[in-house]
Amino acid sequence: MQADREPVFGGKDWPPHYTFVPAVRAGNTVYLSGTTATDDQGRITAPGDIVEQTRQIFRKFGQLLASLGGSCEDIVVTTDFFTTTKDYAKTAEVRREFFVKNRPTSTGVMVAGLLRKEALIEISAIAVLRGDHR
Amino acid sequence: MQADREPVFGGKDWPPHYTFVPAVRAGNTVYLSGTTATDDQGRITAPGDIVEQTRQIFRKFGQLLASLGGSCEDIVVTTDFFTTTKDYAKTAEVRREFFVKNRPTSTGVMVAGLLRKEALIEISAIAVLRGDHR
Amino acid sequence: MQADREPVFGGKDWPPHYTFVPAVRAGNTVYLSGTTATDDQGRITAPGDIVEQTRQIFRKFGQLLASLGGSCEDIVVTTDFFTTTKDYAKTAEVRREFFVKNRPTSTGVMVAGLLRKEALIEISAIAVLRGDHR
| DSSP for chain B, written as a single string | ----EEEE-TTS---TT-SS-SEEEETTEEEEEEE--B-TTS-BSSTT-HHHHHHHHHHHHHHHHHTTT--GGGEEEEEEEES--TTGGGGHHHHHHH-SS---EEEEEE-SEESSTT-SEEEEEEEE-SS---
CA–CA separation, B134 and C9 (whole Å): 30
The shortest CB-CB distance from B105 to any of C27, C31, C111 is to: C31
Domains of chain C: 5-128 (3.30.1330.40)
pLDDT tens readout for residues B57-101? 999 999 999 999 999 999 999 999 999 999 999 999 999 999 999
Considering only CB atoms, A110 lies closest to which of B21, B26, B112, namely B112
ipTM of the complex as predicted: 0.95
Q: Is B124 on the interface with C (CB under 8 A)?
A: no
pTM (two decimals): 0.96
Is-contact A27 A1, C-beta < 8 A?
yes
* Mutation choice for A interface testing from C109, C111, C122 by most A CBs within 10 A: C109
Asked if C102 lies within 8 A of A7 by C-beta distance, the reply is: yes
**What sign results for the dihedral spanned by CA atoms A113, A114, A120, A125?**
negative
CB A30 within 8 A of CB A56: no
In the predicted model, residues of chain C with pLDDT beneath 50 are 1-2, 133-134
With cut-offs at 50, 70 and 90, classify the pLDDT of residue A134: very low
Alpha-carbon gap, residue B94 to B107, rounded angstroms = 16
- Contact by Cβ (8 Å): B74, C24: no
Q: Does B55 touch chain C (CB under 8 A)?
A: no
Convert the pLDDT of each residue in B1-18 to its tens digit: 445 999 999 999 999 999
